[in-house]
Amino acid sequence: MTQLVRFELLAGNIGLITLSRPEAANAMSVQLLNELGATLDKVNGDPTVRVVLLTGAGEKAFCAGADLKERKGMSDRQVKQIVHLIGVTVAKVEALAQPVIAVLNGVAFGGGLELALACDLRVAAVHTKLGLTETSLGIIPGAGGTQRLPRLIGIGKAKELIYTARRLNAVEAKDYGIVEYVFDGNELQEEAQHLALEMTKNAPLSLVQAKIAINQGIEVDLATGLKIESLAYSALIPTEDRLEGLLAFQEKRSPHYLGQ
């Protein structure tokens, strides 16, 4: 059986996860979803992986969403199961302890964009096109798109894009606030790694706790969010990395963090 999800550890403790089904626009088949879920389970909290890049194989597609050809022969019950599996897998991306950067090397429609929305940041090749196109297919986004997109860009803009099933180019997506950076296709991977390296030079436990504070805090009122932030900060006080950060500052050198 062909492997549909690849993992590679790059220099600087960067983990690269690649959806490798380019002949089908990296669409989410059951096998791909199962392999992606297993890969995420292995990577989650792995101290050798400080930041994760998630991308697709080839230059045409990041992920075209659900595999509609595979779904065509399914019963209603089976469709509900696969939609649930997509949602669970996307949620695993969001729950990953480490920061995750979606590297959009090509189209990201439907579930493909929902997968990217579960990442912490998104960078896109200039030729990328993306959108939540489900209403044009008689369905709605079913893997978190109706919830994550409004939280990212605001309810009005999200309703506009979902109701119209509009397809955006990379520059338009940046203007909407869906992606943070747009690069030429031949520069995308290198620039994504540079962004990841800016993160990996910092204390890995701090990245984990900052992600917890931001993701959990955004869902609650300010007073509760501040308590979440305080707890996340307190978790770092007894760490060796915090002491290393202070010592490096005093000695005017770059810190050497071990994630301890």
> What is the pLDDT, as a whole number, of residue 45?
86
**Nearest of 27, 9, 8, 50 to residue 241 by alpha carbon:** 50
> What is the pLDDT, as a whole number, of residue 58?
92
Buried b (16+ CB within 10 A) or exposed e, 195-232: bbbebbebbbbbbbbbbbbeeebeeeeeeebeebbeeb
Domain ranges of the chain: 5-200, 204-250
Residues of the chain with pLDDT under 50: none
**Nearest of 145, 129, 113 to residue 185 by alpha carbon:** 129
User: pTM for this structure?
Assistant: 0.94
* Contact call for residues 117 and 93 (beta carbons, < 8 A): no
User: What is the DSSP code string of 184-230?
Assistant: -GGGHHHHHHHHHHHHHTS-HHHHHHHHHHHHHHTTS-HHHHHHHHH
* Euclidean distance between CA atoms 54 and 196, whole angstroms: 11
* Euclidean distance between CA atoms 4 and 201, whole angstroms: 31
> What is the pLDDT, as a whole number, of residue 145?
96
> What is the pLDDT, as a whole number, of residue 66?
84
Fold annotation for 5-200: 2-enoyl-CoA Hydratase; Chain A, domain 1 (3.90.226)
> What is the pLDDT, as a whole number, of residue 1?
72
* Euclidean distance between CA atoms 189 and 186, whole angstroms: 7
Same-fold call for 5-200 versus 204-250: no
Which residue numbers are catalytic? 66, 111, 114, 134
> What is the pLDDT, as a whole number, of residue 42?
97
Q: Which of 1.10.12, 3.30.420, 1.10.3120, 3.40.50 is the CATH number of 204-250?
A: 1.10.12
> What is the pLDDT, as a whole number, of residue 73?
77
